[in-house]
């Protein structure tokens, strides 16, 4: 049996707070951890009845009194000084006659645990965001063949040179020219390479959503906002890189807010009152001529100067024709192994494609290669398999079909091609200058047509 001083030494060695009363609720002792957690010295408590402890204002609620009332164990959580959250559990100890002899209460400070839980939740949220925004790149950068001509090499050389500095980089280039790949390269060669690479396409969503994604929001900031609030990308990119693609499409109101974030390294989440600090490497990209946008008052001049410390320009593929052959060879290999095929380019095809002007640039080349590989009837891909606009023929009018049918067929092909190049109905519709709903309706009509034919 442990008794007297030894019992006190034992409970003092415990990391949770311990509070012991007799069977009437009179304080017998507390341990050192209890004194530390609550800030109340033992000398002030010993001999006091729990109701007096409450009356004296040391605690707001006594678990021991509740144990006496319930004649059984009781647990609850409480907030004490400095916003500390404690978990209080009272357990009765009965004598041989079934009367409560002692009440032993343990007090655990769970503030740290809650912080850790909150941090865990935030981490989970950030990982989700990264999953959503950071994985469009498939594979390891080192495995990407940097198929680059002299002109593109200059651009990559400059990018690698400025990567270890904190200078802001603005990449200019048409869609599919490799802006994201270049931004990732800068990140990989930068001092924050171990941090996150967070990517946001500013043209992809409406203004309010864009603001919520970037700045995050506090719980209940607006109808439909999640209970927990949401970590914004500005915070998720902390100690890493934030890549803002299509920055030219950032609405003016958000341009002003972004400028402030860049100047102050802090921001207010939507609906929040407390600033959050953040520190990230900013890389932006656009296919627009931002100077022209400034002249049209669509883009803030002060923001342009901030972003454009190091301008990098990725030329369109039609100006890098010496890369086309290598790109065709590389992506043919890639899709051959992906689909376990053995397709080859006919040299006329390579010749023809080297002279094509690739409005969708490298992405169009990749999509075309995949399409040709998976639809090939034979291993040699010849000119006959190329879409007619790439073959350089004009088949329209030669088929004898009605004008309406021919227009429809042309429309269908243009939409299919745009989908192949841009990947989504929204982007394809935008490129073709039609509504997304119109494009989807047409697709549905064609699908129905196919079903009735078959
Ligand atoms: N030098 C290169 N060698 C091989 N593949 C490349 C090269 N540059 C880009 N690519 C590939 O081309 C595709 C398009 O590149 P990326 O997504 O970087 O273009 P982008 O300019 O960011 O396009 P968008 O403006 O539409 O977002 C990607 O699959 C990328 O891996």
Q: Is the minimum distance from the CB of 148 to ligand 1 under 6 angstroms?
A: yes
Q: Is 178 in the pocket of ligand 1 (CB under 6 A)?
A: yes
Ligand 1 touching residue 145 (CB < 6 A): yes
List where CATH 1.10.8.60 sits in the chain.
Answer: 322-453
Q: Which of 1, 264, 280 lies closest to 168 in space, CA to CA? A: 280
Q: Per residue in 355-402, pLDDT tens? A: 999 999 999 999 999 999 999 888 899 988 998 888 765 444 444 566
Confidence of residue 113 (pLDDT cuts 50, 70, 90): low
Closest atom of ligand 1 to 171 CA is 21
Q: What is the pLDDT of residues 271-310, one digit of tens each?
A: 888 899 999 999 999 999 999 999 999 999 999 999 999 9
Question: Which residue owns the Cα nearest ligand 1 atom 30?
Answer: 178
Instruction: Print the SS3 string covering the chain.
Output: CCCHHHHHHHHHCCCCEEEEEECCCEEEEECHHHHHHHCCCHHHHCCCEHHHHHHCCCCCCCHHHHHHHHCCCEEEEEEEHHHEEEEEEEEEEECCCCCEEEEEEEEEECHHHHHHHHHHHHHHHHHHHHHHHHCCCCCCHHHCCCCCCHHHHHHHHHHHHHCCCCCCEEEECCCCCCHHHHHHHHHHCCCCCCCCEEEEECCCCCHHHHHHHHHEECCCCCCCCCCCCEECHHHHCCCCEEEEECHHHCCHHHHHHHHHHHHHCEECCECCCCCEECCCEEEEEECCCHHHHHHCCCCCHHHHHHHCCEEEECCCHHHCHHHHHHHHHHHHHHHHHHHCCCCEECHHHHHHHHCCCCCCHHHHHHHHHHHHHHHCCCCEECHHHCCHHHHCCCCCCCCCCCHHHHHHHHHHHHHHHHHHHHCCHHHHHHHHCCCHHHHHHHHHHHHHHHHHHC
Cα–ligand 1 centroid distance for 300 (angstroms) = 28
- Phi, psi (rounded to 5 degrees) for 311: -85, 135
Does ligand 1 have an atom closer than 6 angstroms to the CB of 62?
no
Ligand 1 mean position, distance from CA 429 (Å): 21
Ligand 1 centroid distance, CA of 181 (Å): 6
**Can you tell me the distance from the alpha carbon of 250 to that of 244, in angstroms, rounded to the nearest whole number?**
9
Could you tell me the distance, in angstroms and rounded to a whole number, from the CA of residue 373 to the centre of ligand 1?
Answer: 20
- Predicted local distance difference test score (pLDDT) of residue 141: 41
Question: What atom in ligand 1 is closest to the CA of residue 173?
Answer: 21
- Is the CB of residue 208 less than 8 Å from the CB of residue 215? no
Q: Whose CA is nearest to atom 29 of ligand 1?
A: 363
CA 234–ligand 1 middle distance (angstroms): 24
> Is the distance from the beta carbon of residue 281 to the nearest atom of ligand 1 less than 6 Å?
no
Q: What spacing in Å lies between the alpha carbon of 321 and ligand 1's midpoint?
A: 15
Q: Would the pLDDT of 133 be above 50? A: no
- What would the pLDDT profile of 173-194 be if each residue is shown by its tens digit? 999 999 999 999 999 999 999 9
Nearest CA to ligand 1 atom 25: 175
pLDDT of residue 273: 87
Residue 344: other Cβ atoms inside 10 A: 15
Are the CB atoms for 41 and 35 separated by under 8 Å? yes
Pocket of ligand 1 contains residue 245 by CB under 6 Å:
yes
Q: How far is the CA of 266 from the centre of ligand 1 (A)?
A: 32
As its CATH architecture, domain 4-109 has 2-Layer Sandwich (3.30)
CATH level 3 topology of 115-315: Rossmann fold (3.40.50)
For residue 123, the model assigns a pLDDT of: 52
68: closest CA among 37, 23, 19? 23
- Predicted local distance difference test score (pLDDT) of residue 200: 93
pLDDT at residue 3 in the model: 66
CA of 177 to the centre of ligand 1 (A): 5
For the residues 96-111, what does the mean pLDDT come to?
86
CA 161/CA 164 separation, integer angstroms? 7
Tell me how far apart the alpha carbons of residues 109 and 74 are, in angstroms, rounded to a whole number.
Answer: 17
Taking only the tens place, the pLDDT of each residue in 181-239 is: 999 999 999 999 999 999 999 988 888 888 989 999 887 666 555 567 788 999 999 99
- Quick check: CB of 328 below 6 Å from ligand 1? no
Share of the chain above pLDDT 90, in %: 45
Atom of ligand 1 nearest to the CA of 184: 18
**pLDDT band per the 50, 70, 90 thresholds, residue 140:** very low
* Ranges for all domains in the chain classified under CATH 3.40.50.300: 115-315
CA distances from 402 to 59, 250, 444, 448, 450 (A): 89, 45, 22, 20, 18
Q: Which residue minimizes the CA distance to atom 18 of ligand 1?
A: 178
Does residue 54 have a pLDDT over 90?
Answer: no
* Cβ atoms of residues 128 and 243 within 8 Å: no
Check residue 121 and give its pLDDT. Answer: 58
175 CA → ligand 1 middle, Å: 8
Q: Quote the ligand 1 centre to 364 CA distance (angstroms).
A: 10
Q: Is the CB of 175 under 6 A from ligand 1?
A: yes
Does the interface predicted TM-score (ipTM) exceed 0.95? yes
Question: Does 181 sit in the ligand 1 pocket, CB within 6 Å?
Answer: yes
Does the CB atom of residue 200 touch ligand 1 within 6 A? no
Decide if domain 322-453 falls under CATH 1.10.8.60.
yes
């Amino acid at each position: 049996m442990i008794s007297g001083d030894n019992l006190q030494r034992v409970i003092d060695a415990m990391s949770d707070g311990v509070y012991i009363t007799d069977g009437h609720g009179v304080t017998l002792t507390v341990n050192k951890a209890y004194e530390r957690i609550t800030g109340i010295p033992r000398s002030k408590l010993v001999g006091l009845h729990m109701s007096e402890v409450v009356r004296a204002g040391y605690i707001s609620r006594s678990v021991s009194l509740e144990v006496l009332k319930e004649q059984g164990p009781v647990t609850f959580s409480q907030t004490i000084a400095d916003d500390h959250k404690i978990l209080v559990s009272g357990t009765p100890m009965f004598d041989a006659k079934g009367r409560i002899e002692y009440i032993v209460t343990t007090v655990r400070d769970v503030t740290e645990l809650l912080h850790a839980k909150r941090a865990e939740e935030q981490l989970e949220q950030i990982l989700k965001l990264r999953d959503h925004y950071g994985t469009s790149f498939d594979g390891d950068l080192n495995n990407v063949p940097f198929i680059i001509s002299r002109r593109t090499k200059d651009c990559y050389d400059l990018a690698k040179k400025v990567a270890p500095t904190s200078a802001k980089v603005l990449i200019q280039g048409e869609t599919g020219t490799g802006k994201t790949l270049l931004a990732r390269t800068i990140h990989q060669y930068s001092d924050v390479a171990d941090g996150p690479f967070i990517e946001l396409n500013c043209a992809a969503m409406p203004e309010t959503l864009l603001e919520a994604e970037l700045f995050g929001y506090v719980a209940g900031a607006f109808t439909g906002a999640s209970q927990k609030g949401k970590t914004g990308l500005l915070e998720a990119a902390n100690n890493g890189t934030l890549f803002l693609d299509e920055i030219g499409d950032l609405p003016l109101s958000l341009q002003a807010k972004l400028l402030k974030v860049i100047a102050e390294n802090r921001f207010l989440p939507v609906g929040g009152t407390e600033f959050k600090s953040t520190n990230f490497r900013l890389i932006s990209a656009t296919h627009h001529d931002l100077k022209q946008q400034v002249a049209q008052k669509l883009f803030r001049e002060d923001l342009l100067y901030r972003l454009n410390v190091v301008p990098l320009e990725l030329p369109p593929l039609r100006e890098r024709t010496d890369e086309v052959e290598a790109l065709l060879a590389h992506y043919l290999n890639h899709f051959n192994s992906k689909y376990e095929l053995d397709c080859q380019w006919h040299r006329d095809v390579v010749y023809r494609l080297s002279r094509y002007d690739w409005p969708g640039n490298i992405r169009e080349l990749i999509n075309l290669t995949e399409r040709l590989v998976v639809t090939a009837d034979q291993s040699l891909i010849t000119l006959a398999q190329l879409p007619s606009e790439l073959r350089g023929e004009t088949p329209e009018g030669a088929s004898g079909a009605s004008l309406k049918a021919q227009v429809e067929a042309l429309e269908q092909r243009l939409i299919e091609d745009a989908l192949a190049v841009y990947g989504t109905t929204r982007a394809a519709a935008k490129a073709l200058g039609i509504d997304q709903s119109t494009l989807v309706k047409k697709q549905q009509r064609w699908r129905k047509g196919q079903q009735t034919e078959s």
